[in-house]
Amino acid sequence: MSMCHVGGFFKLALGVLSLLVAGCASSLTRIDTWEGEIPAATEPAVLKAPGTIQVTEVNGRAMTNFLMDDLALDYGLLPGSNEVVFTYKTIWAKSGVVDDGESKVHVIETKPQVVRFDAEPGMTYQFSVEKPATRAEAEALSNDFSATIVTTGGASVAEASVWKGPAENRTPVFGGGEGNYGAGSGTTLEKMKRLWGEATDEEKKTFLRWAFE
């Protein structure tokens, strides 16, 4: 094989490798937060999270932890009510001499926070949070943390608060029909049992009257 052919082969290999890397990067930056397939006509919303925001779960579903803590990610959200749990984390280099085995950085992280908001189809949302210039400012922010979910136009849709546990530990699953994202998976009987367990006493009485008429 001539040197010309060898050079051409390596150029082709490098080109394929760059495409693969680009493809992997694009798949990592978008994480869908639901289970199952949704109709092609359904247009999810997107929540953009900077590297300082570590999303731990969405609607009760744990999110993937990546090796790079400062990786900015997009999260696909189904239209409707969403609950996003996260922490705010910054890393600051230590000054002076560091002993062997001692961490070379200060890690400042908030308590788990939560935002709840209704996502609209095709809309893009993002976190709005202060950017501390010093470690002292970061520590102050972690002790009195505030963050807002805003649209790309800057309109505020939700304020973060300290997370006190899941309100509804349920991951949206598309179960067929328009807007039926929280019905869950399984047979029709299983879905009816779930709905029965969530119904109020008055709703159960009304249903039984209707069923035995």
pTM higher than 0.85: no
Is 57 in the same domain as 129? yes
The total number of structural domains that make up the chain: 3
Indicate whether 178 belongs to any domain. Answer: no
Q: Give per-residue pLDDT as tens, 90-144.
A: 999 887 766 766 777 889 999 999 999 999 999 999 999 999 999 999 999 999 9
| Contact status, residue 75 vs residue 33, Cβ threshold 8 Å | yes
Whether 120 and 192 map to the same domain: the answer is no
Q: Are 44 and 95 within one domain?
A: yes
**Mean pLDDT of the chain, nearest integer:** 76
Domain interval for residue 5: 1-28
pLDDT band with cut points at 50, 70 and 90 for residue 27? very low
Task: Tell me, yes or no, whether 19 and 92 share the same domain.
Answer: no
**Residue 171 backbone phi and psi in degrees, to 5:** -85, 130
Average pLDDT over residues 60-80: 83
| Mean pLDDT, residues 174-198 taken together | 54
Say if 1 falls within a structural domain. Answer: yes
Residues 116 and 49 in one domain: yes
Residues 15 and 82 reside in one and the same domain: no
